[in-house]
Amino acid sequence: MAEAALPGSSSTASAAARRAVQNINAPLWRNAIFIAPYLLFFVTLLVVPLFWGIWLSLHKADAFGTGRFVGLDNYLRLFRDKIFLQAVGNTFYFVFLTVPALALIGLFLALALNRKTKTAAALRAVYFSSSVLSVTIVTLIWRIVFIGNFGLLATIYGWFGATAPAFLSDPKLTMIGIAIATVWWCIGLPMMLFLSALQQVPQEIYEAAALDNASRWRTLWHITLPSIRRTFVLVIIIEIVLQFQLFGQARLMTQGGPNNVSKPIVLYIYEAAFTKWDLGLGAAASEILFILIMIAALAQYFISRRKGVEG
């Protein structure tokens, strides 16, 4: 570069120097080394399994051999399988139960705890603390609450001589029971996302609103909520993608029962692959779940892009 700046050098030298200058920003193969470590794991742990899964879903296979090619047979079996269709329905129902609750309760907690007091800091930690527990612990806690005759709920109802609702065995209540446990478990993340969004709203706007004598409601409705609307969309999309993958809670709290009313898609996949040893069928069901989640992820992409243009 210094050479290029020197006057009076020969034309070939300056041409070479110019090339060197251009090459700094030009694509270079050796730059790939920087992303190679990431790429290696991305390809081996994500891309290869993705295509392997698609390949498996076209086979009649168990865990001990590749089996034979059956084309789309596994997919046709899925669409004829009442339990699978029920599992898809259950999953949507669960997303419908949890996502709005997580978004609204998360927002409410964030609004309530967005202050600089010690109590608020302590409560933030308390509400977030459930998120660090493993699914096993979470379901254990909620089983102790819900279980008939001996559970916390049954004990409390017992004081009033009433029978507690059977959240683990009543077909109308099991999904709601799982949703309650899930919201309790997952509330930390949306709360934190909302808190960080709230803290980014410029303080001057609130000062201006205060000078205009705006009521708390008006401030909330016209300043706070519009300012965090992109975070709201983000929370909704993240939670849809996460809650579509419901597995552990249903497996450990109800085993998908009774009568399969709380069996989500992932539990169906697990049972197909590991209990029935029908790996091809499980892989086909995974591809359907993949497509469902991809639709949710694409929705996020398009919505955030539209907002970006507007903003």
Partner 1 sequence: MTHTLRRFMLTAASVLALTAAAPALAATELTVQRFFGACDAEFGTNTDASKAVGECGIMTSLINKFNADNPDVHVTVTTVEWPGYDQLTAQFAAGDPPDIVTIHHSVLGDYQSKGLLMGLDDLLKSVGVAPSDFTEASLSGVTKDGQIYALPIDNWTMLFHINMDLFKKAGLVNADGTPKLPTSVDELMAQAKEFKEKTDKPYFVQNLANEVALYTRNLYTYLFQQDSGAFADPKLVKINTPEAKKVLEMYKAIYDNDYTTKDMDYAAGINAFLAGEGGVHLNGTWVIGDYTASSETPGTALNAGGYAVYPYPQLFSGKKAQYADGHSWAVSQKDRTPEEEAAIGKFLKFFNDNDFEWSRTGHLPAVKAVLGSEEFKALPHRDTISAVATLGTPLPSTVQRQFAIQDIIGQEMNAAVTGQKEIDAALADMESRINDLLANI
For residue 32, give the H/E element and its range.
helix 32-42
Any contact of residue 306 with partner 1 (CB under 8 A)? no
In angstroms, what is the minimal distance from the CB of 222 to partner 1? 49
In whole angstroms, the minimum distance from the beta carbon of 66 to partner 1 comes to 12
Nearer to partner 1, 105 or 170 (CB): 170
Torsion (CA) 227, 232, 233, 234 in degrees, nearest 10: 110
Which of positions 78-97 make contact with partner 1 (CB under 8 A)? 81-83
- Cα–Cα distances in angstroms (integers) from residue 229 to residues 75, 104, 191, 301, 304, in the given order: 39, 12, 14, 15, 11
x/- binding map, residues 161-200, to partner 1, per CB under 8 A? -----x-xxxx-----------------------------
Does residue 276 interact with partner 1 by CB under 8 A? yes
Instruction: Compute the distance between CA of residue 136 and CA of residue 169 in angstroms, rounded to an integer.
Output: 19
Report the residue from 7, 275, 291, 310 that binds partner 1 according to the rule CB under 8 A: 275
Burial of 117 (0-12, 13-18, 19+ CB in 10 A): exposed
Q: Residue from 128, 206, 247, 270 that binds partner 1 (CB under 8 A)?
A: 270
Q: Residue 246, interface with partner 1 (CB under 8 A)? A: no
Give dist(CA 187, CA 107) in Å, integer. 10
Determine which helix (DSSP H) or strand (DSSP E) holds 76, and give its type and residue range.
helix 73-80
Kindly state whether residue 150 participates in binding partner 1, applying the rule CB under 8 A.
Answer: yes
Given candidates 14, 16, 55, 60, which one binds partner 1 under the rule CB under 8 A?
Answer: 60
Q: Does 249 bind partner 1 (CB under 8 A)?
A: no
Please confirm whether the linkage preceding 258 is cis (ω < 30° from 0).
yes
> What is the C-alpha to C-alpha distance for residues 290 and 239, in angstroms, rounded to an integer?
15
Q: Which residues bind partner 1 (CB under 8 A)?
A: 60, 62-64, 77, 81-83, 143, 147-150, 166, 168-171, 253-255, 257-261, 270-271, 274-278, 281
